[in-house]
Amino acid sequence: MTAFYLPGLLQFASQFEPTLVGMALLLCLIGSYTVMILLRRAYELHGERRLSWFLALCICFGADLWATHFIAMLAFNPGMPIYYDAGRTALSILVAVLGALPAFALLLWYPSLPFAWAVAGPMLGGAIGAMHFIGMSAMELRGVVTYSRDFVVASLICGMVGASLALRVMQRHGGQGIRRGSLFLASGIFGLHFIAMAGLTTSPSNDWHLAPFSTVSSNGDLASVIATVSLLLLVTLLVSATMDAKLVERQLEAKHLRHLSRHDDLTGLLNRRGLRERLSSMTGGRLVIISIGLERLKTVNDLFGREVVEELIRQAAERLSIEVMKTDILASPGTEEFVVLRRHAVAEEDALALSYRLIARLSEPFEIGGVTLQIGACAGLACSEGTGEVAEALLSAADIALREARLAGAGQAREFNMAMSARLLRRHQLEQEFRGALRNREFLLFFQPLFDCRSLKLCGFEALARWQHPERGMIGPDEFIPIAEAAGMIVTLGEYVLAEACRAASAWPEDLRVAVNLSPLQLKDPVLPQKIIAALAQSGLAPHRLELELTEGAMLEQTPEIQLSLAALKDKGVNLAIDDFGAGYSSLSYLHRFSFGRLKIDKSFTHEITTSADVRIVIGAIIGLGAALGMTVLAEGVETEAQLDVLRTAGCGQVQGFLFGRPMPEKEVLSLLDRVAKSGGSAIPAFS
C-alpha cells in the first residue's frame, strides 16, 4: 500500500490506534531528550566516567528507539492479528544499541574532526533503520508483507538526516542545543518509522503458521507496560545524569573554593595556608626560605590610594616570579610580604646574594597610571636541612630575620640567628609588661646638656626617657619606644614625658630650654597642641623654653592636620627642631615649610667627622644650609675634642655629646646647674 494521495493517506492513518501513536510519540520525544542530555554529560566528562555515560547513552538510545518502534507497531492494526518473534525482537534492540556505539564514540572522542556529525549522523540513522527493519522482520501475521523500495530509501534518508541534524546541533551548540537536537532526533526516529510503514503492504495469505517462539500478542496493555518500563529507564537515566552533573558541578565548586582558600586573590600566589600545606608535604633536603617585606606601602596608600597599592603589589609579585627559578615556591603569606622557598639549595652566601638581588629588583621604580613610584624592600632568610616540620620553623625564623632587617633600615637583608629569637622573646615580654610599667610609673626622664659650640655655655637639656624595670634594670628608649608605638601607648607615654620635662625645666634658670622628642604617631594626635599648652600652663614654663624634636620620618607624612598642629604650636612660641638630620629620607621640601629653629646633625656624621673628608663636606653643607634658612645647627654625639675642633672650624652652632655630659637624672642636673652658676655659666662636667 502506498500513501501518496489523501484517500490513501486516510486509509493509512486508519490502520493506527491514535492513543498508542500518541504514546509512541511522547516516548520518542522524552527518549530523544534523554539521549541528548546523556550525550552532553558524556561529552563533559573524561576517562572512565565518560565511558560509563557513553554506554548508558547507547543503551538509552536503543531503549528509546525500540520502545518507540514497538509501541508504534502495537498501534498498527492491518486487519489481521500480528505476532512477534521474541528472538528477533530482542535482536533488534541489540542492533540499535550496537549501531549507536560507533556513531556516539566518534562524536565523543573525535569531536575536533571537522564534520564528525556528518559521519556519525548517518551511522546513527543507519542504526535506527537497522533496528526498524529487524524489528519488522520479527512481525508474523496471516499474510504477505512487502515493502516499497522508494519508501524504504526515503525512510532511511529521513532517519539519517534527523540524526545528523541532531548531532550537528549538539556539536555546535553543546548544552544550548539539547532541545533542538532532541526534536531532530525524534523526527528522524518517528519519521523513519512511519515513512517505512507507509511503504508497507500486507496481503492476506493462508500459507501461514505461527513461529515456534512467537509469544507476544498485540494490545494496548502491552503498549502501556513497554511505555512504563521504558519511561522508568529513561527517567532513571535522566535523573542520574542530572544528579551526576550536579555532583561534578559541586566538585568543581569545591575545587575552586579550595584553590581560593589557598591562594592570594591579588597576586594569585600561594597564601599563608597554601604555603603551610606545601611546606608540610616536603620531604627533605637543603632549604632556603626568604621572607621579603615591601616598604613604604603605607605612604603610597596615603598619597595615591589602595588601588595603586594593589597594582604595586601585583607588579612586585610579577617581578619576583621572573627573578626566581621554576623550581622555587613563591608565595604571598601577607599583603605586604612575599616568601621565596628554594629547595635543594645553594650555599648561604648565594641565598644572601639572592635576597639582595630581589630587594634591588623591588627597589627599581614602578610605573602605575602614569606615576613613577619607588618603594623598597627588606629580606629575612633562614637556611637548614630538613623536612616539612623544619620548613615550618624556618618560615618563622625567616620572619624574625625580616623584622631585624627592617629595624636595620631600608633595603637590608638579614640571616636568622638565635640571638634574634632571644631579642624577639624579650620584645614580646616587654610588650606584655609595658602597660603595667606606665601604671607603676617605671618611666623616668634623663637629661643631656646642650652647649654653645664656641663659648661652651650651657643652653639647655634634651629630655630622654628611660624605663627603670624592677627586674631587668634600665631599658633604653631605642628598645621601648618602638614597643610603645606598636602597642598604641606612645601618646600616653609622650604626655607623661612632656609633663615631666616641663615640670623639671620650670625649676631651671630662665635662659635654659628643654628639648622633648616627639614620635611621628604623637604628631597625628589631633589634640596634641592642647596637651602641650596644658603641660606648659601646669608647669608654668614659658613656651619659648620648650623645643619639640621631630625626625625627618615624621615630616614625610604631612597631612593638613599635622601642618595645622605644628603651625598652632609655632604661634604659641614653642620651638621646633629637626632631629637626626641626614639619617632619614632627606627630603628637604619640609624644611622651608615650617620655621624650624634648630637642625640637629645625626651622630653618625659626627662620629666620622675626623676620619672622612666627605663627611666633613656634608657637615659643612648642612651648616651652610642651616645658616641660609636661619636655623641653629647642633651636632649630636660629640665624643672627642678633635670632633669639637672640626665642628668649631666648620661653624657649627651648638653641640651635645658624651664629651660634655651623658644623659643624667634630674638630681644630677640640679648639681650641674649649681656648678654652672658658681663658674659663671660655662662649667662643663668633663672639662671642669
Positions that interact with Mg ion (CB under 5 A):
517, 549, 579-580, 636
Q: Which is nearer to Mg ion, 401 or 631 (CB)?
A: 631
**In whole angstroms, how close is the CB of 515 to ligand C2E at the nearest point?**
8
Contact partner at residue 207 from ligand C2E, Mg ion, none, CB < 5 to 8 Å by partner kind: none
Separation between Cα atoms, residue 566 and residue 575, nearest integer Å = 10
Nearest to 430 by CA among 480, 470, 394: 480
Q: Which is nearer to ligand C2E, 161 or 464 (CB)?
A: 464
Q: Which is nearer to ligand C2E, 229 or 407 (CB)?
A: 407
Contact partner at residue 637 from Mg ion, ligand C2E, none, CB < 5 to 8 Å by partner kind: ligand C2E
Sign, CA dihedral 601-602-605-609, equals positive
Residues forming a β-bridge with 265:
none
Separation between Cα atoms, residue 185 and residue 167, nearest integer Å = 8
All cell numbers assigned to 404: 631585624
Phi, psi of 623 (to 5 degrees): -65, -40
> Per residue, what are the HEC states of 532-597?
HHHHHHHHCCCHHHEEEEEEHHHHHCCCHHHHHHHHHHHHHCCEEEEEEECCCCCCCHHHHHCCCC
Q: Which is nearer to Mg ion, 552 or 636 (CB)?
A: 636
**In whole angstroms, how close is the CB of 602 to Mg ion at the nearest point?**
6
Please give the angle made by the CA atoms of 386, 390 and 392, to the nearest 5 degrees: 140
Q: What share of the chain is helix, strand, coil (3-state, %, to 5)?
A: 60, 20, 25
* DSSP one-letter string for 228-281: HHHHHHHHHHHHHHHHHHHHHHHHHHHHHHHHHHHB-TTT-SB-HHHHHHHHHT
Contact partner at residue 336 from Mg ion, ligand C2E, none, CB < 5 to 8 Å by partner kind: none
**In whole angstroms, how close is the CB of 663 to Mg ion at the nearest point?**
11
The bridge status of strand 286-295 relative to strand 376-385 is antiparallel
Contact partner at residue 478 from ligand C2E, Mg ion, none, CB < 5 to 8 Å by partner kind: ligand C2E
Contact partner at residue 639 from ligand C2E, Mg ion, none, CB < 5 to 8 Å by partner kind: ligand C2E
Q: Which is nearer to Mg ion, 89 or 654 (CB)?
A: 654
**In whole angstroms, how close is the CB of 604 to Mg ion at the nearest point?**
10
Contact partner at residue 552 from ligand C2E, Mg ion, none, CB < 5 to 8 Å by partner kind: none
**In whole angstroms, how close is the CB of 683 to ligand C2E at the nearest point?**
18
Q: Which is nearer to Mg ion, 182 or 517 (CB)?
A: 517
For 649, the enclosing helix (H) or strand (E) is helix 641-650
Please give the angle made by the CA atoms of 158, 163 and 165, to the nearest 5 degrees: 95
C-alpha 186, offset from chain centre: 50
Contact partner at residue 187 from ligand C2E, Mg ion, none, CB < 5 to 8 Å by partner kind: none
Separation between Cα atoms, residue 625 and residue 262, nearest integer Å = 54
Contact partner at residue 663 from ligand C2E, Mg ion, none, CB < 5 to 8 Å by partner kind: ligand C2E
Contact partner at residue 497 from Mg ion, ligand C2E, none, CB < 5 to 8 Å by partner kind: ligand C2E
Separation between Cα atoms, residue 674 and residue 678, nearest integer Å = 6
Within 10 Å of residue 413's Cβ, how many Cβ atoms? 26
**In whole angstroms, how close is the CB of 637 to ligand C2E at the nearest point?**
4
**In whole angstroms, how close is the CB of 303 to ligand C2E at the nearest point?**
24
Contact partner at residue 183 from ligand C2E, Mg ion, none, CB < 5 to 8 Å by partner kind: none
Q: At what angle do helices 220-262 and 47-74 cross, to 10 degrees?
A: 160
Contact partner at residue 122 from ligand C2E, Mg ion, none, CB < 5 to 8 Å by partner kind: none
Q: Which is nearer to Mg ion, 38 or 445 (CB)?
A: 445
All cell numbers assigned to 285: 633536603
**In whole angstroms, how close is the CB of 570 to ligand C2E at the nearest point?**
20
**In whole angstroms, how close is the CB of 417 to ligand C2E at the nearest point?**
24
Nearest to 513 by CA among 542, 476, 472: 542
C-alpha 413, offset from chain centre: 25
User: Can you give the binding site for ligand C2E, defined by CB under 6 A?
Assistant: 448, 464-465, 476-478, 481, 497, 517-519, 549, 579-580, 603, 636-639, 656-658, 663
Q: Which is nearer to ligand C2E, 293 or 477 (CB)?
A: 477
Q: Which is nearer to ligand C2E, 71 or 638 (CB)?
A: 638
Contact partner at residue 477 from Mg ion, ligand C2E, none, CB < 5 to 8 Å by partner kind: ligand C2E
Separation between Cα atoms, residue 441 and residue 482, nearest integer Å = 19
Q: Which is nearer to Mg ion, 244 or 579 (CB)?
A: 579
Q: Which is nearer to ligand C2E, 62 or 657 (CB)?
A: 657
Contact partner at residue 657 from ligand C2E, Mg ion, none, CB < 5 to 8 Å by partner kind: ligand C2E
Q: Which is nearer to Mg ion, 140 or 549 (CB)?
A: 549
**In whole angstroms, how close is the CB of 426 to ligand C2E at the nearest point?**
17
**In whole angstroms, how close is the CB of 549 to Mg ion at the nearest point?**
4
For 447, the enclosing helix (H) or strand (E) is strand 443-452
Q: Which is nearer to ligand C2E, 10 or 407 (CB)?
A: 407
Separation between Cα atoms, residue 131 and residue 33, nearest integer Å = 19
Contact yes or no for 590/558 (Cβ under 8 A): yes
Sign, CA dihedral 620-626-628-630, equals negative
Contact yes or no for 508/484 (Cβ under 8 A): no
**In whole angstroms, how close is the CB of 390 to ligand C2E at the nearest point?**
38
**In whole angstroms, how close is the CB of 430 to ligand C2E at the nearest point?**
15
Q: Which is nearer to Mg ion, 339 or 634 (CB)?
A: 634
Contact yes or no for 625/596 (Cβ under 8 A): no
Integer CA distances (angstroms), 419 to 258, 401, 412, in order: 39, 10, 18
Separation between Cα atoms, residue 226 and residue 68, nearest integer Å = 9
**In whole angstroms, how close is the CB of 285 to ligand C2E at the nearest point?**
45
Q: Which is nearer to Mg ion, 64 or 547 (CB)?
A: 547
Separation between Cα atoms, residue 109 and residue 122, nearest integer Å = 17
Contact partner at residue 333 from Mg ion, ligand C2E, none, CB < 5 to 8 Å by partner kind: none
**In whole angstroms, how close is the CB of 320 to ligand C2E at the nearest point?**
34
Contact partner at residue 465 from Mg ion, ligand C2E, none, CB < 5 to 8 Å by partner kind: ligand C2E
**In whole angstroms, how close is the CB of 539 to ligand C2E at the nearest point?**
16
All cell numbers assigned to 112: 575536533
Reduce the DSSP state of residue 655 to 3 states and report it: strand
Within 10 Å of residue 101's Cβ, how many Cβ atoms? 17
All cell numbers assigned to 406: 627592617
Q: Which is nearer to Mg ion, 399 or 547 (CB)?
A: 547
Contact partner at residue 293 from ligand C2E, Mg ion, none, CB < 5 to 8 Å by partner kind: none
